Chains A and B, each alone.
Chain A
Amino acid sequence: MITISHLSKIYRRGVKAIDDISLEIGTGMFGLVGPNGAGKTTFMRIIAGLLKPTTGEISVFGHNLRSYAGKQAAKAQLGYLPQDLGLYPNLNAYEFLDYMAILKGITGGADRRRQIDTLLEQVRLTDAAKRPLKTYSGGMKRRVGIAQALLGDPRLIIVDEPTAGLDPEERIRFRNLLADAAAGRTIILSTHIVEDISQSCSDLAAMRGGKVIYRGSPQDLIAQARGSAWTITTQGERPNGGLTIVSTLQLATGVQYRVLGSPDGNYDAAPVEPSLEDGYMWLMTQRETGVPA
């Protein structure tokens, strides 16, 4: 269990990245969504013990991150995949995982080899394991990243924008890999690709301006947009009147817009069942206009 209480982070020039967040995160996949600059990465880095909060308390499996010993104990149970993953270009995947495994405290040679072999198999890199990492594609590097995060069987896994830059096939495989790993663990998945959350998380929080503006299940977020999602087909002119356009589809008969809001009688609007993306957009729109979610 991760308990976060009145967490704030103010950077040197007075930028408030996190503003009084209190949360409890249990076992399973926890999604964190929000626009760029919402404070997701800062929030994740604080939970990973990489950044000191300005105020507030965090407890990771009973270890208080305010103390050095608590932080080290929490890190011993952490798997972390940063947004901006870096690897040593001159090492191969096996060597890099071996290095990370030792740093994570897996000092037994046989155990280390077994774990590395298993993970390389899981991320389908066994054949490329001896190739220098500088020859890997973006997707392969991400897979090395997730393999290192899973080393040592951590109880908490934090992954920041893990599917950015991956092709659809890689993204689905990656999502499944995380979902498989979620059993008995806490996985915090930060993303601005809402689809990733809808497919794998049962619990989520939406952030904006350093605050948590929504906490609950994806279904409840979808329910908030129910009755507000429509499709409007026009001959090309964009619908206006306070509507939020979620997507645009070119058809033979015109252009179909998927919109959120309350269309007036000027449009031939058809109600549709909202998706999580609609729910997210609805939430953000309501916040922009000052309507409480």
Chain B
Amino acid sequence: MALSQMAAVVRYELLMAWRRRALLVMGGFFLLALIGFTAMQPPAPVELAGTVQVDTSTDPPTIIQEYSAVDGLTVEELNISLNLLPNTQLVVTMIAVIFPVLVAITVVVFFAESIPLDRQYRVRELFDSTPLANATYLGGKLLGAWAALGLTLLVVMISFGILARLIVGAFDPLTYLQAWFLAVFPFALTCTGWSVLAASGAGSRRKAIMIGLVLVPGAMILYALFSIQFWAVVLDVGSRMSADEPLTLTALFGEAISQSAVMQLWFLASVAALFLIVWAWSRVRG
């Protein structure tokens, strides 16, 4: 029965979020912001992980500077695709580095109202009169928020992928997907989880949004930790380039994304810990 109840909470959370146009507004904002940032990038020389500097304004792109780490290596030996690499770096920077700032600011405020809204609509008392366990309700609300966010991000991912292809040209789709699924999704889920759970005790939508705003600095710290690690790994990989270890997309971004994903597993674990605290507190109070 608990699974059916949880599935119902998730289903109706999604339906209500859709009808409130909440997902449309959030997804539209994400997409417009991403396209805006991407379109604003000037066709200036692009520096690839401290390895080479590429002028993307020429056709075809040309290497205008090679650093000491790659002295003596030809472009072919570096295994660089001068079209693919700068474009991929641009979209990965957008997705894995700039976009999480938007996510951190938006979702913690946006999803804070998930549970308080039930109190504001005064349906919580009805729910409490049913044999719905606290853990099921809390889990359903959390999964509902995650599902709403996940679907929104999926649509943004596909739409931005298509639009970015038109704006900046070809990029590596595998790295693009990795950036979304290993960097953006776990980070966004963590921020959402914090927001839903931390604001669960708020009596009104207004108080919940206040709690969401209080969480913004926390989300930004999370982002800083994640971002610093990401770039540290990229630069480290770039500085190790040699004829034996040629520069590839996988080498450059794959490791950074994978290591960030591992870090984000810990962030998600913090959501699980917060869930247990909130659940235990609701049991004590109930």
The interface of chain A, by Cβ under 8 A from chain B, is 48-50, 52, 68, 72-73, 75-76, 78, 80, 82, 84-91, 95, 98-100, 102-105, 107, 148
Contact = CB atoms under 8 A, between A and B. Distances in A.
B155 interface: no
A251 to B, nearest CB: 44
A105 B131 contact: yes
Contacts, number: 76
A89 B123 CA distance: 11
Interface of B is mostly: helix
Contact of A86 (B4, B126, B130, B133): B126
B33 interface: no
A78 B121 contact: no
Interface stretch (B15-23, B88-96, B182-190): B15-23
Contacts of B8: 98-99, 102-103
B5 interface: yes
Contact of A49 (B7, B15, B124, B129): B129
B76 interface: no
Interface of A is mostly: loop
A68 B282 CA distance: 13
Given A102-B4, A102-B8, A107-B4, A87 B131 contact: no
B12 A104 contact: no
Interface size bracket, B side: 20 to 34
Interface of B: 1, 4-5, 7-9, 12, 15-16, 19-20, 121-133, 283, 286
14 contacts: A50-B128, A50-B129, A72-B131, A72-B133, A75-B130, A76-B131, A78-B129, A80-B125, A84-B125, A85-B122, A86-B122, A90-B15, A90-B19, A105-B1
Contacts of A73: 131
Nearest to B1: A105
A84 B122 contact: yes
Contact of A82 (B4, B5, B126): B126
Contacts of B124: 86
Given A90-B16, A91-B12, A107-B4, A100 B130 contact: yes
Nearest to A73: B131
Nearest to B286: A52
Nearest to A48: B129
A86 B129 contact: no
Given A103-B8, A148-B126, A89 B121 contact: yes
A80 B129 contact: yes
B125 A50 contact: yes
